[in-house]
Chain A
């Protein structure tokens, strides 16, 4: 009998530390599925960022490097420049990428570093217990925005649209935004990841997939509620689809179709 669905080879088969309803686990699965499909398990390296996904080395059954908070793109630069024929995945959360590591991501993207950034946007600092992130929505509750994010009086700034921000940089070739709140979006996101990984292996420029992801624990919602909240609040502000695609192979837009 043909096996239609199973556990990805590149994903270690253990109980994860992620909370129920967290999006990181789904994203790990998508990454490993694509790696397996492309036959790259022994040629992949992932950076485990400081954040909830710091334990990535327990889950991914391939090499990993754990850099300092936010310096992930700098470390990924050092890795990819020395291992040009490897798949290098720069995995980052929104605090890691859009706050402490803003300089690193902008300049890695602008240099056109040939790794792929998987940017997990859960609109909150997960690991440290629910502080405001650069991507926290206006009015959204966090322990450090207890009355909701207030860009006005309290001067808390506005949520940053990272794909759009990076899209003006000459080094960026593929910037797409997906979500993991329902099967349809998950499938589209997987396609985006595949497009980005393939582009990386062809040696094109900077590629990134931003993934809107639930954090029920810190959003103080049940897992089903968090799926609904993401749909109603995040997607309207962070539109899904390809924000920029200047890849040489004009592949069908990954965000289109089913």
Chain B
């Protein structure tokens, strides 16, 4: 199994931490991982993107040329992200912010209202965790069954109070994905 994911969104949406958390959980589940953020001159604003691979085998190129799954968190990243999807791949859209579907009739497109779900849980900033749940559900690559244990080793103890809310977001993301498949 090798799952290649391309993630894009605007700076500050948690695209980088989504990618990092995804590979961290995958690593804890025993997979081989790579995470390559696009880094440009501008650190804030602009479009944040990352190539993310989790695999049972050694990872060759860490750059995702054709993604099994593309994650689009914002409207302005549709253009960059849609072409990254492999023929017949999956596109996960944050439908709270993306109002036009990518021009990819071959792809399976799943609409996840990440921000709305996150706000219902209590904090719009965990929209990225909702998306991670959906990504787990649709790919099955990283199970996230023991995410609470894993997040305890990811976050410093001062932030452990935030873990229950993150877990809720992940679970809600999985559910949202199930209901649109």
**Are A and B close enough to touch in the complex, i.e. CB under 8 Å?**
no
